[in-house]
Structure 1
């Protein structure tokens, strides 16, 4: 009986997950021949003990986060880097850090700061995975966080939350430099550090796959890879054929329709898809009009028809979003009252010492603790 389970963000674009870290861990499990396990399309990082996905349950322990899972498995003997020298391990760590910073930012910019990609493809991809009503507000929260992170590369955050003047961004030059470093490291080898794949290959594949394979309106990263770094594109194809060939199909997590917008007491840490009062209520009912674009008369005429179609779709999305938020608020109030988190008492109750105010020992909270080994020092 299979007791091992891997909890990830669900599949999209022909890949088992639309999250780079989840893809990286799936690739790593293939590299170390982890054995049989079930994949659960969780889609809610609030269920994780650290507020992040992927999360592995090996029959005894729960471990969340790609680096923590890799460190945990390495201690158990599932080490993809065991044959590397100390020098090669150091090179692997430096290249992983480069990928985690640069390729991650490039992906966030392409998916969320580029409005054409976000509205046309990315928002729909996440909405298809999320339960109601999270599908109407979680992608917007993800966009806001991503835009704040990549704004350092150029552009300014407008009143609508979008990145204006994004044409001046440096992110594509930075991504190109990263591709160049990786291309030189790969050279004519099958994998970055030799003939066998390692942790570095799993990490880089997670990012490259999401930059190369999704069909999005503005596939600039895809074009850079295929036209300027065909060796990296061929490498990504090779990794896909090897790492994903025997991956079990993700199974939806049952009965989580209400989880994504109820407060999580076992895991209060913020995450892209998790609930918190401040980011749930802030800016949901009133929005400033987006700033007018500075453009020529010819460009205005060119965008007229597409803007009309987008406005109709946007209004329909906003109506559904407000309805979902209202229903979520009512569900939250019902949850709080039903679980006794708010108690309405009378003056007589307080004077007589009755109820929760008079008897401190009458209320107890049961804590659910997910067991996991502390492997932070190995991350």
Structure 2
């Protein structure tokens, strides 16, 4: 059986644009042999695993990458994949099997530290920053994704990154939102700016470059402080060793560190505050990332074409990673992605789908306490969604009942239909009258008309 590792595709000279995917690729490169004895065409050996850069999380039940296809089921997220590899290989592919209690405790603690502190920095650098997103991140996704994902997925990823970094108070990096906010303030008649006549406004309207120059100095101090809080513990842990926990033996912690630090150091961005801060604060850590990147991903920069090269021999000459060309998306899959994008844009439906994915993620987790915790969170989310639905329906019912009670809306026969029925009833009554009655009524009407006209 060949294991298929599905990831977000290459970008910035790295084999993936996502830190968790990079960490998983690094773990495979260090722990899993590229070939095994068998009936393959390459000297009687066949691949143990392949790397598929389909960049399509819609294939996975949890809707997230990286994901490992075992031939029977999907396994997503770095920790779950590592645990499966250890069980599948009988602990042979376990990079952490040499650890004692102290090293294992450090591995768990610093793994959580990397995910909780490294992800916000990557989010700010690649997604929240308008300059970096528009000039580097969005074009990178455009070269990876097929239609319609190239229009649906990048905005979703950016919105998620903004939500994850709200607590840092650095939303001013998003110059697009700042510029739109300034426009709304200038159009708002209740604001002070909106009440000043245009003839008295001497300063020109704010521009993107002006906003950047105004906020860059304010953000720089906070960004450097946030980066220092992330770099200092890792630099202290690394010390003079070759790896984070040992001098000569890499671990799963090194793979996770490579995933986040490589996206901080390697990309050449227009606003490279994160790379500059890491290189100035810890040159040793930057050197460690470069050395480990070459060992796991190869000395040459990974090009997008390597992941989609159909010539296997040429692909093997270009890259040390076992790339496999992803399948083209069918017309049915395209339609399904469009429907899923529409569903995720609806508030209540979006929350229901998110809780379902979280529940599937909990089912994948092998650890008992973590699985129970994820299941409890998913259940609480579903309860909140159902409460919102009941509240909305109750509000609509009260509003409709108020309209009926106040007479604004009536339930009955429409006015036009009622008038038609009245006219039909009058004609029937006229037909039922006798000829003498109709003649007397006609004479009385003529007599009244003559009196009015004076005849």
Whether the TM-score (by the shorter chain) exceeds 0.5 is yes
Q: Please tell me whether Structure 1 or Structure 2 has the larger radius of gyration of its CA atoms.
A: 2
2:67–2:77 CA contact under 8 A, matched in 1: yes
Offset from partner CA, 1:10-58 (integer Å, 9 cap, x none): 1111111111111100111122134332111121112112221111123
Distance 1:279 1:188 in 2: 50
Q: Which residue of 2 aligns with 1:214?
A: 267
- The one of 297, 306, 311 equivalent to 1:244 is 297
Flag the 1:22–1:257 CA change in 2: closer, same or farther, 3 A: farther
Distance 1:127 1:183 in 2: 35
**Map 1:221-370 → 2, pairs under 5 A:** 221-245=274-298, 246-256=320-330, 259=333, 262=336, 275-279=341-345
Does 247-256 or 207-216 show the bigger shift? 247-256
User: Cα offset for 1:258?
Assistant: 6.0
Q: Which residue of 2 aligns with 1:334?
A: none
Q: Which residue of 2 aligns with 1:10?
A: 9
TM-score (norm. length: structure 2): 0.57
- Structure 1 residue 87 and structure 2 residue 102: aligned? yes
- The one of 246, 256, 281 equivalent to 1:203 is 256
- Structure 1 residue 100 and structure 2 residue 115: aligned? yes
Q: Determine which structure has greater relative contact order: mean sequence separation of CA pairs < 8 Å that are 6+ residues apart, divided by chain length.
A: 1
1:261–1:275 CA contact under 8 A, matched in 2: no
SS at the partner of 1:39?
strand
Distance 1:264 1:49 in 2: 17
1:45–1:51 CA contact under 8 A, matched in 2: yes
How much is the aligned-residue C-alpha RMSD, in angstroms? Answer: 3.0
Q: Which residue of 2 aligns with 1:173?
A: 225
Flag the 1:260–1:89 CA change in 2: closer, same or farther, 3 A: farther
User: Cα offset for 1:376?
Assistant: 4.5
Distance 1:114 1:193 in 2: 33
TM-score (norm. length: structure 1): 0.67
- Structure 1 residue 134 and structure 2 residue 149: aligned? yes
2:261–2:289 CA contact under 8 A, matched in 1: yes
User: Cα offset for 1:227?
Assistant: 2.0
Distance 2:149 2:367 in 1: 31
Q: Which residue of 1 aligns with 2:160?
A: 145
1:131–1:256 CA contact under 8 A, matched in 2: no
Flag the 1:197–1:31 CA change in 2: closer, same or farther, 3 A: same
Distance 2:286 2:234 in 1: 11
- Structure 1 residue 27 and structure 2 residue 26: aligned? yes
